[in-house]
Structure 1
Amino acid sequence: MAAAQRKRTVFLGLPTWAERSALGGALRTETVGGLVLLAAAVLALVWANSPWSDWYERIRDFQLGPAGLGLELSVGHWTSDGLLTIFFLVAGIELKRELVVGELRTPSRAALPVVAAISGMVLPALVYLSVVLLRNGSPAGWAVPMATDIAFALAVLAVLNTHLPAALRAFLLTLAVVDDLGAIAIIAFFFTDDLNPLALAGAGVGLVVFAVLQRLRIRGWWFYIPLGVMIWALTYVGGVHATVAGVCMGLLLRAKPDDSTGEVDSSGARTSHVLRPISAGVAAPLFALFAAGVTISGTALGEVFIHPESLGVVLGLVLGKALGIFGGTYVAVRFTRAQLSPNLRWADVFALAALAGIGFTVALLIGELAFPAGSDSIKAAVLVGSLLATLIASVLVKRRNVVYRQLCEAENRDDDGDGIPDIYQSKGITG
């Protein structure tokens, strides 16, 4: 019995120092970017509901770009199809890193976050469909409440001044990575315009060239930026949402440095280092600025809970996400040889699941795609649902913040001053 107990893996145990170091920079950047994103969303709401709201609409709808290439788009369109490509490129890089050297590199390590993420996408969709089918609404928005906004969630944690342990932060990031993959797959397969096979073939050839350049270890932005822009443009003209191009290029970048050439960082790590601040601090906030500007009034907020589509989004984000992620995780742990870390409780997992109900950026994007003729009510529902998820998660997280503070102090204590916390050396998990 004791031998069997020792063989059980620990769920939400302390990650290795190498893994924590790799995630640390990403989490810091996403946290700062989330604060900027939060500010952009507030600015959008204030601006759209101010006496200068007509200027907001004029700027958002202003057209620019080469019309001859089919790329004369509005400013709002450029932020969703253009700048968000950078956002998804970084997501693709992070997914590749997780698959090659991170939490998803082996089936046993990937099982829990993948099951949690999938159940956290399926249940919100089912909640939405149940609401609209019972009230004769449109099923078009089934994918809206499926997304998690990691930057916004980390910004909430920063505002709350919480001390979430490294294991919970790492699990949240892994959930969001798998979630982003699911979102981009949904966009690619369910939200496409009339396809242009010739343009898509051109984009495919561009991706092959991109992969060959990576295989040959070719470096230099002067190769990749023109090629990336061409792939993006052909994908857009081909009728597939252009952000798909970003994920594809991110997945093609190498996640491991080439020791034979003396590389210190992989091409994916170098690209992420350059683009992550742009993605978190510019691309996502600008998208939020021109996507979150909906007219808010007492009547409009009341209608969010009346119309089946908007109600389905709110319930999907608040209930579907929390119950889906928690339930999927609990079942997966019970049916595997895993056991919850003795330092944490299942209440901590539920708080994290509730936090994942903040589905801001990608949820707004899918809302625009699902209801192209008018998505303001859906956007308002995303805002309301994300706000409610924030409030619920805030209460749950703050209840345990004293415990989190103690765990974080133990995780960061470095009495010998060698730059590696003592707990990692004592447990032998510095690799």
Structure 2
Amino acid sequence: MLSRPRSELARYLRTETVGGALLLVAAAVALLWVNSPWGQSYLDLTETHLAIPPLHLDLTLADWVKDGLLAVFFFVAGLELKRELVIGELADPKRAALPIIAAAGGVVTPAIIAYAVGFGVDGMDRGWAIPVATDIAFALAVLAMTGSRIPASARVFLLSLAVVDDLMAIVLIAVLFTTGLAFTWLAAALVCCAGWWFAQRKRWTSPLIYIPLALICWYALHEAHIHPTLAGVACGLLTRVRRDDGEAEAPAARWEHRFQPVSAGLCVPLFALFAAGVPINSAMFGDLFTDRLSLAIILGLLLGKTVGIFGISWLAIRTGIAERPAHLDYRDMFALSVLGAIGFTVSLLVAELALQDYPDSAELAKAAVLVTSMAASLAGSALLLRRGRVHRARRDADALEPEQ
């Protein structure tokens, strides 16, 4: 009796519009809660400690969500990236060239702008990485809701771009936020990764193998002082994506099918709930548009992402290095570039990591990410709706042409 409702719920959670809507609702609840008369209860909840003494783990609820549940999100992202690299758009060098080049422009340009604007500000030695990531779930949700009349190649381009973009952000997280590396624990994590790869090679399927490997890998990276969510990425990238004869589906497809609803329906919304609760007052609102840290993030995301993605894509196409996606023109690509300025999940994570020694700056940075992501989603939606009308008019004209 319960299997059908559960399967229906999972099906809805796999749709980008639902996942994006849950993320937005969670962020809105956090903002309203922390700025309400009950705001202290929100702060008390996020700072509640849950300890596991035998493992020497003593983390707040917010840290458990950020370091633990978000690993599931990165696991799904790793599975998507592996699929794209092996059998998807990124497997063909000609088709992969444009999203890879665009992602590089969308990482480097925001970083340069953010560093230049915020140079000398406390925390900007690593804070320049805050505006480099595009939120896959949020951006695809906006595209699904407002870009239904845009050619299907738009989703392929945006997904490939965001996946490569997030991979670059993950590398930055690994490089920038690893301090006092414990090599023994790092070796233990590598052994777990090797075990995962070996189990995949042997076609073993039991969860009793993979769940302990994933948990031990997470713990080992945590003890090695590497952000433990990278365990999710590593396991995702080591998962087999090609189906063997006799298999209904490959492990990557099967696990993505199972874990994507958990990521979209639980992990990412909970992260948004715990990360987006920024107390906003008149002073902070004023600082959003005057403080150099905030301006660095706003300009890095909104200007850097748009210019970086669209500018380098235009240059790559014009010089013949890459090919323009089928049925898309430059105005379509500009609208998609604006969606690339939606930072949210990974940007909020980087803000917490980069500015953990500056709590007030971290709150301001998160507010800047939230405001800019909303502005980019609204601007991108307006552009997509306009482009959708253009494409519909073209299709209508093509349909009438044989009758003339």
Match of 1:177 in 2: 163
List, as ranges, runs of 4+ consecutive aligned residues in structure 1 with deviation greater than 6 Å.
Answer: 134-137, 406-410
> What displacement does 1:92 show?
0.6
Q: Does the CA-based 8 Å contact 2:153-2:325 persist in structure 1?
A: no
Match of 2:197 in 1: 211
Q: Which of 133, 155, 168 in structure 1 is aligned with 2:141? A: 155
The 5-angstrom pairing of residues 239-258 of structure 1 reads 239-258=225-244
Which amino acid in structure 2 is aligned with residue 122 of structure 1? V
Match of 1:269 in 2: 253
Match of 2:8 in 1: none
| 1:409–1:177 CA distance, 2 compared to 1 (3 A) | farther
> What displacement does 1:378 show?
0.5
The answer to whether structure 1 residue 403 and structure 2 residue 380 are counterparts is no
TM-score by length of 2: 0.90
The 5-angstrom pairing of residues 245-394 of structure 1 reads 245-259=231-245, 262-336=246-320, 340=324, 343-373=327-357, 374=359, 375-394=362-381
CA separation in 1, counterparts of 2:289 and 2:209? 51
| 1:344–1:205 CA distance, 2 compared to 1 (3 A) | closer
TM-score by length of 1: 0.85
Q: Which of 55, 78, 98 in structure 2 is aligned with 1:92? A: 78
Long gaps (5+) in structure 1: 1-24, 414-431
> What displacement does 1:335 show?
1.8
| 1:234–1:52 CA distance, 2 compared to 1 (3 A) | same
| 1:408–1:365 CA distance, 2 compared to 1 (3 A) | farther
Which amino acid in structure 2 is aligned with residue 249 of structure 1? C
Q: Which of 50, 63, 69 in structure 2 is aligned with 1:77? A: 63
Q: Does the CA-based 8 Å contact 1:30-1:150 persist in structure 2?
A: no
Map Cα deviations across residues 27-57 of structure 1 (whole Å, 9 max, x no partner). 9533321110010000010001011111101
SS in 2 for 1:327: helix
- Aligned pairs, how many? 385
CA separation in 2, counterparts of 1:187 and 1:401? 37
Q: Which of 146, 167, 179 in structure 2 is aligned with 1:193? A: 179
CA separation in 2, counterparts of 1:233 and 1:31? 33
CA separation in 1, counterparts of 2:189 and 2:306? 38
Q: Which of 173, 188, 211 in structure 2 is aligned with 1:202? A: 188
Match of 1:3 in 2: none
Which amino acid in structure 1 is aligned with residue 381 of structure 2? S
| 1:70–1:195 CA distance, 2 compared to 1 (3 A) | farther
> What displacement does 1:349 show?
0.4
Long gaps (5+) in structure 2: 1-10, 400-404
The answer to whether structure 1 residue 120 and structure 2 residue 114 are counterparts is no
> What displacement does 1:300 show?
1.1
Q: Does the CA-based 8 Å contact 1:38-1:155 persist in structure 2?
A: no
| 1:99–1:408 CA distance, 2 compared to 1 (3 A) | farther
SS in 1 for 2:91: coil
> What displacement does 1:136 show?
8.7
CA separation in 2, counterparts of 1:319 and 1:226? 44
Q: Does the CA-based 8 Å contact 1:203-1:231 persist in structure 2?
A: yes
SS in 2 for 1:65: strand
> What displacement does 1:258 show?
1.2
The 5-angstrom pairing of residues 130-149 of structure 1 reads 130-133=116-119, 138-149=124-135
Q: Percent identity?
A: 48
> What displacement does 1:405 show?
4.6
Q: Which of 44, 52, 67 in structure 1 is aligned with 2:53? A: 67
Q: Does the CA-based 8 Å contact 1:164-1:408 persist in structure 2?
A: no
> What displacement does 1:331 show?
1.0
CA separation in 2, counterparts of 1:144 and 1:222? 37
CA separation in 1, counterparts of 2:177 and 2:292? 21
| 1:195–1:137 CA distance, 2 compared to 1 (3 A) | closer
Match of 1:129 in 2: 115
CA separation in 2, counterparts of 1:187 and 1:65? 25
| 1:26–1:193 CA distance, 2 compared to 1 (3 A) | farther
Q: Does the CA-based 8 Å contact 2:110-2:308 persist in structure 1?
A: yes
Which amino acid in structure 2 is aligned with residue 231 of structure 1? C
Map Cα deviations across residues 197-224 of structure 1 (whole Å, 9 max, x no partner). 1111111111111111000000011211
> What displacement does 1:307 show?
1.4
CA separation in 2, counterparts of 1:334 and 1:161? 25
CA separation in 2, counterparts of 1:325 and 1:159? 22
CA separation in 2, counterparts of 1:409 and 1:279? 39
Which amino acid in structure 2 is aligned with residue 318 of structure 1? L
| 1:406–1:228 CA distance, 2 compared to 1 (3 A) | farther
Which amino acid in structure 1 is aligned with residue 347 of structure 2? A
The 5-angstrom pairing of residues 225-244 of structure 1 reads 225-244=211-230
Q: Does the CA-based 8 Å contact 2:110-2:301 persist in structure 1?
A: yes
Map Cα deviations across residues 336-377 of structure 1 (whole Å, 9 max, x no partner). 265546743211100000011000000000000000021101
SS in 1 for 2:173: helix
CA separation in 2, counterparts of 1:204 and 1:41? 35
> What displacement does 1:72 show?
1.6
Which amino acid in structure 2 is aligned with residue 348 of structure 1? D
